[in-house]
Amino acid sequence: MSDDMRREIDDLKARTVRYEADARALFESVESMTKMLRRVVVTTTQTGADLAELKTYVREKLVTKNEFDRRMDGFAGRIDDFRLHMAQQKERLDDLESKSKDS
């Protein structure tokens, strides 16, 4: 074998060793990324489930501003009715007291 062929073979061996090392490093990087992505998938899945629960809660328990205003208007109306009723009761009591004093 000639010296030129030996140099080419040695050069080829050196390149093969470098490519092998690069391939190992690349494989380790891919493995590391795969582990990280698994954690991301788990976290995203859990977050998605939490958001779905929150969305359900908001739909079931909370009301829109218009709904709240409508309910509060009804409540305020009941309060006004109660106050009117109490004022009428007070007038009746005052009338009864004044009649009983007059008797």
Q: Per-residue pLDDT for the chain (103 aa), expressed as one digit of tens each?
A: 688 888 999 999 999 999 999 999 999 999 999 999 999 998 888 888 888 888 888 877 887 888 888 888 888 888 888 989 999 999 998 888 888 887 6
pLDDT at position 72 is 84
User: pTM (2 decimals)?
Assistant: 0.40
Q: Which residues contact 2 (CB under 8 A, 6 or more apart)?
A: none
Distance of alpha carbon 1 from alpha carbon 43, whole angstroms: 61
51 within 8 A of 43, measured Cβ to Cβ: no
Distance of alpha carbon 78 from alpha carbon 55, whole angstroms: 32
Task: Give whole-number Cα distances, 32 to 38, 41, 60, 77, in Å.
Answer: 10, 14, 42, 65
Domain residue extents for the chain? 1-62, 63-103
